[in-house]
Structure 1
Amino acid sequence: MSSTRLTEGWRSSSSRLLGLYCLLFIAWSSVLLGVVYWRVSNYLDDMSESALLQRAHLFHRFQGDVLDDALNDSLRYDIHGTYAYGMFTAQGKHLAGPLMAFPAGVRADQPSREIPGWLLAGGERREAGRALAVSTQDQRVLVLVRQSGKLSGVNSIILDALLWGISLTVIPGLAGWYFLRRRPLKRIQQIEGVTNRIIAGDLGQRLPVSDRRDEIDRLSSIVNAMLERIEQLMTEVKGVCDNIAHDLRTPLTRLRAHLYRTRVELGDSPHTVQMDKALAETDLLMARFSALLRVSELESGQRRSAFEDVDVAALLGELHEFYLPLAEEKRQALVLEIESGVHTLRGDRELLFEALANLLSNAIRFTPEAGRILLRAVDDDGVPRIDVMDTGPGIAEQDRELVFQRFFQGQDEAGRAEGFGLGLSIVAAIAGLHGFRLRASGAEGGGAWLSLRCAPETL
């Protein structure tokens, strides 16, 4: 998969929807598990404080040596070493017990507090715990400490379990996200392929509709109904134009024949000049209708069966040889350039010759005397591109998308319309038949630059 295709996949609505759901699920799971961890931690802290309070209440009944004996007995039964005690004066001086220093921040007869650690007899230092100080009946201060390492271990176990639970939930969710978004993307790619063929001119194509009848199918059905109507209207409009052009050819041919016979019969009559003008106008009308039928034929896509490998150098060489005398009559320089690496393209040779001939004839017509016309073939990212550049007045920027439409007429330097607006329409129809990209722009230093990129274009 290319990087472009991968980027499009991540930007799709299905990926975003599934990704948003996955993020919300992760966020909610994290909050839920965080609350569970917080509640368990508080419960364990409460257990630790309750244990210290129970011991404090138990030892508060004793005093003097009896209290010391009870404390020592409790240590002997504490096989895990969870608890420790220390007996101190009211001023904090150590009197008895393994706890050697009064914990900082701990006050007598106040709630228990977390301490970072404590020092035992023999220099042994224990990890964090919870300490509680209570006053005895004989005016001493008893400090009880409970090690929190065991509880911390329980917290760690719970935290690990929660993290594993999130991981085992997120990983299948991400995998499901990846695989679930592939089906909608595949359908979109199918729709894209059909749409490209419709854009290329095949209005008979329809978007695929599955049996699921989901929102994509409903949208495809609406678009298909719209395409049905568009195809019907286009066929009707095209049929009217084609029928008019076809039906008028016969009477125009008869009219020209009558005019020609009348012109011959008049001989050297003064009216022959008017008859010659009438014949010229009739020829112009017939050429216009022939061009209309030609565009219609090309847009119908009936010539694809003649596609073959075309030698670009031979095709351009033939065009150059054919139009060189016409350019020399106007003292124009017609230059041919073929870049190395440009060999063949796939298409109908006769149609490509016709299209490029139209471009060259336009360039010769609009380029002034002593001007320069360049016909060249270059390699455009591994694809042949044919350029026709001239030093004429060029094409106005606002007209560069319009010049390929039927009956659009450009203006020469004097502001007078040239032709009847179907030459470039024929070129555009031939380019569309091949799937090539035809582009009009301005050449350096003025003039027109028309390029034909000879590779099927995709969106």
Structure 2
Amino acid sequence: MRKAIVKGVIIFVALFLLLSLATKFALDEGENALSLFAGAALSNSVKDKSIDRPAAAEEDLAVLLKERPDELITDGTKFLHDYGYLPDTGYINRYKLTWMNVALAFVAGLLSFFWNVREEKSLEIDILELSDYLGALHRGEDQLVLRDDLFGQLRDDLYKTVLILRESRENALTDRTLLKRNIEDITHQIKTPLTTIQLLLDLIQQDEANQAEYIARLDAEINRLNRLTSDLLKLSSLDAGAIIFRSECFSAESMIYEAIQPIESLIHKKQVELRLTGQDYEVKGDRSWLMEAILNLVKNAVEAVEEKGIVEIRLSENDIYRSIAIQDNGPGISAEDLRHIFDRFFKSQNAQKESFGIGLSMAKSIVEGHGGSLEVESKNSGSCFEIRLYYQLAAPRPRVRPGEVTKLL
């Protein structure tokens, strides 16, 4: 209300001053013009010539108006004043004009006052509605009200901000829960080999006859612990975004050959038949990290099959992506386990005892870090993990005829 009064007074004063100045200027100019022509009419030269020669009188009048304006204005003003045609004699009442200006300015100020009162009332209502809207959002009552005005846009921005903050809070809670679970899993994974190592050390001291066997088992547990710490470091680096994947071109086939070398002994031990089918192509990405993903997937497949089982690696392509699929003829993965197969430290029912439950999660992170995706399908006849490398990552380079089968080992 106070702002409306102040604005109304300002409008009143400003408009009154403008009208007063305009009125004074107009009256002064009118009086000067009237006095000028009155003075010219009183000139003797004009009077003498206006009777016989009207045309000449007009010419002389024009000359007088140009040459003697000040003198004519003085004479005309005196004449008009003497006969009552100037303000001092009441012909032109400037006071009436002043009051008219006051009335007009007052009406304008009054209209401005009512308009500002209306705007303030409308603004107060909008602010109260916005406050209620924020309260509803805080209570979790999502109400997206569309309005084509400034407050409508503000509501929309607040709604988006609240959703982002809510999502951030939920993600933070999820991350906290996940961190707690991961710490528990890591503690368990590390504690198991440490307990075994401690037990083996005690056995070595107590049973000298079987020290060689205990030392071999001790070495295996130490290697297992080293693999765990190495995998955890790799996984944490991927999670933290500390890994910058290199961009290089290489053959998918040669990458697969090199990736499986660390598990050749396991493949020979289980007499697994490993096959490569399809057409070779070039991959653009970080060779060492993609080899890590391939190694984890092939190792998972080899561990899943029985002795003399079959693991097939298929290279294929379509209009969207290039594919590396690892298919095994193992017992498959249950529907319940399939939902958590990429969860960190998760072990399916058929997982090996020595498994950490990290390999598949790491493979997925590596592939997604390259802009690809890792898909899985599983039936009673086996499981298939498929790496999809989209066309920004792969370029064609035929090397093997389609359908040709190459036995790797």
- Between the two structures, name the one with larger relative contact order (CA 8 Å, sep ≥ 6): 2
Greater per-residue helix proportion:
2
Please, what TM-score do these two structures have when normalized by structure 2?
0.48
Q: Which has the larger radius of gyration?
A: 2
TM-score normalized by the length of structure 1: 0.43
